[in-house]
A = this chain, B = another copy of it.
Amino acid sequence: MPRRWYNVVPALSRAPEKYIDTETGKPITQEYIERLWTKSMAAQEFSLERWISIPQQVLEAYSMWRPTPLIRAVALERYLDTPAQIWFKYEATSPTGSHKLNSALAQAYYAKREGHSRLVTDTGAGQWGSALALACQLYGLDLTVFMVRASYHQKPYRRYLMQTYGATVVPSPGPMTQFGRNTLAVNPNHPGSEATAVTESLETVRADESARMAVGAFSNHCLLHQTMIGLEVREQLAMINSEPDYLVASVGCGSNMAGLVTPFMEDKLNGVDIQMLAVEPDACAPLTRGEYRLDFADAAGKGPGVYTYTLGHDFVPPPIHAGGLRYHGCAPLIGQMRHENIIDAVAYPQTQVFDAGKTFARLQGFLPAPETCHAIRGVIDLANECAEKKRAATIVFSYSGHGLLDLEAYGRYNAGELRDVEVEMFFSELKTKAATV
């Protein structure tokens, strides 16, 4: 198991985009960021060290399930009749079922070490929330989770899981914050979004000196912790004298993608031929449909702003089943790498995505999360391309999480009830609406 995280920042050709303070219009201060996050996270966020040592207690916690296996999808290869080798990095063995625990444990550990008593966070479908709930339980911290209201009511399983680990879970928007109360006054049935949950988290942290915010994606430090994925893949491929031709991951905000690809970034920038492919839902696709510009991480525009690919911070994604990918923007580091054409991106409608996931489950046994199904869809198309070109490429993808708590969506897909969003119509309506406001 790796004992250091890999920081890609020094390897890139330019410094990451600066976070802008909404109120001053200037880059945020050290004071600003340390009031929001723990000092350690603020330090890691701007670190220029290539390697950052993992604390012993975090290594011990990782050993609950790490290293995770790198598995060859032989049945899928046979089914596709492709000369390509398909490997998946199986992050679903984590106690909470996804890669999210890699960063949750680190953030909770540092918060405890700095003497904080409480963390606050946002969660969509609950992957991140359940990971942080376990981490806070292990290190003895209180946790408040703002969970997107629609998921809170419609997907109670991950809520029960967070509560079993001891977290306080509230729906967003909700009555706990001024922003939540205002939002509900205008629309009592507001379904919430990742962005409303971020806004409420910010407000809550600013009102409680002992609290700090933990983030499940977006920030450089969160992406840093996820490099466990790619670092292990490197070592595992080295053991069989292999190297990747393609690295594929789904992207919501980008922590999963960055975790897989950044440990290979220096190779790529030094000329090794590795294609890095991000796969998005077409209904919420900042990398393929968004713009690279200054935007906010939260819905209210009260948090820091930063340059990245975005659909606009007030974009409310249509209801698709990959809850973890329903975010208007992407992590600034991912945005930068996309902007510089280091990573490629492709988007698919959700029925094609579930079709890929079901095929995978029937062949390999493991039921992938809807988020992971996106990567699988991309991999299947790459493997078919390799079959046409008779190319024995090595494709590696991140199996970011299992789909056991998403079986409702599979049930709907099996029953033929799942529909694709009419993306062109959705986006043109959105533009018309924006123009008339």
Would you call A362 an interface residue if the criterion is a C-beta within 8 Å of the partner chain's C-beta atoms?
yes
A95–B93 CA distance with the chains assembled, in angstroms: 10
CB distance B365 to A161 under 8 Å? no
Q: Give the residue name and chain of the B residue nearest to A101 (CB).
A: B365
CB distance B138 to A365 under 8 Å? yes
Known: A97-B404, A404-B404, A405-B404. A365 touches B134 (CB 8 A): yes
Interface residue SS majority, chain A: helix
Would you call A185 an interface residue if the criterion is a C-beta within 8 Å of the partner chain's C-beta atoms?
no
Would you call A57 an interface residue if the criterion is a C-beta within 8 Å of the partner chain's C-beta atoms?
no
- Bin chain A's interface residue count: 35 or more
Q: Hey, what's the 0/1 contact readout for A167-192 against B, CB within 8 Å counting as 1?
A: 00000000000000000000000000
What residues of B have a CB within 8 angstroms of the CB of A166 in the complex? Answer: 362
Q: When the two chains form the complex, which single residue of B93, B157, B163 contacts A93, counting CB atoms closer than 8 Å? A: B93
What residues of B have a CB within 8 angstroms of the CB of A95 in the complex? Answer: 364-367
Known: A93-B93, A160-B410, A414-B160. A165 touches B361 (CB 8 A): yes
Protomer copies: 2
A358–B95 CA distance with the chains assembled, in angstroms: 13
What residues of B have a CB within 8 angstroms of the CB of A414 in the complex? Answer: 160, 163-164
Would you call A22 an interface residue if the criterion is a C-beta within 8 Å of the partner chain's C-beta atoms?
no
Segment 126-179 of A: residues with Cβ below 8 Å from B: 134, 137-138, 156-161, 163-166
Q: Give the residue name and chain of the B residue nearest to A414 (CB).
A: B163
CB distance B362 to A165 under 8 Å? yes
Q: When the two chains form the complex, which single residue of B160, B163, B364, B411 contacts A156, counting CB atoms closer than 8 Å? A: B411
Q: Hey, what's the 0/1 contact readout for A390-423 against B, CB within 8 Å counting as 1?
A: 0000000000001011011011001000000000
Known: A404-B97, A404-B405. A163 touches B411 (CB 8 A): yes
A411–B163 CA distance with the chains assembled, in angstroms: 8
Would you call A102 an interface residue if the criterion is a C-beta within 8 Å of the partner chain's C-beta atoms?
no
What residues of B have a CB within 8 angstroms of the CB of A361 in the complex? Answer: 164-165
Known: A95-B367, A405-B404. A411 touches B362 (CB 8 A): no
A32–B325 CA distance with the chains assembled, in angstroms: 55
A358–B133 CA distance with the chains assembled, in angstroms: 13
A17–B223 CA distance with the chains assembled, in angstroms: 60
Would you call A96 an interface residue if the criterion is a C-beta within 8 Å of the partner chain's C-beta atoms?
yes
Q: Hey, what's the 0/1 contact readout for A63-81 against B, CB within 8 Å counting as 1?
A: 0110000010001000000
A51–B262 CA distance with the chains assembled, in angstroms: 49
CB distance A64 to B364 under 8 Å? yes
A367–B405 CA distance with the chains assembled, in angstroms: 13
A437–B285 CA distance with the chains assembled, in angstroms: 67
A242–B160 CA distance with the chains assembled, in angstroms: 38
What residues of B have a CB within 8 angstroms of the CB of A410 in the complex? Answer: 160-161, 164
What residues of B have a CB within 8 angstroms of the CB of A404 in the complex? Answer: 97, 157, 161, 402, 404-405
What residues of B have a CB within 8 angstroms of the CB of A407 in the complex? Answer: 156-158, 160-161, 164, 405
Query: 3 closest pairs, A vs B, by CB?
Result: A95-B365, A160-B411, A157-B407
Additional 16 contacts, C-beta under 8 A, given A160-B410, A164-B362, A405-B407: A64-B365, A95-B364, A95-B365, A95-B367, A96-B365, A137-B362, A156-B411, A157-B404, A157-B407, A158-B407, A160-B408, A160-B414, A161-B404, A164-B367, A166-B362, A404-B405
5 A-B pairs whose Cβ atoms sit less than 8 Å apart in the complex: A64-B71, A97-B404, A156-B411, A161-B410, A163-B411
Interface residues of A (CB under 8 A from B): 64-65, 71, 75, 93, 95-97, 134, 137-138, 156-161, 163-166, 358, 361-362, 364-367, 402, 404-405, 407-408, 410-411, 414
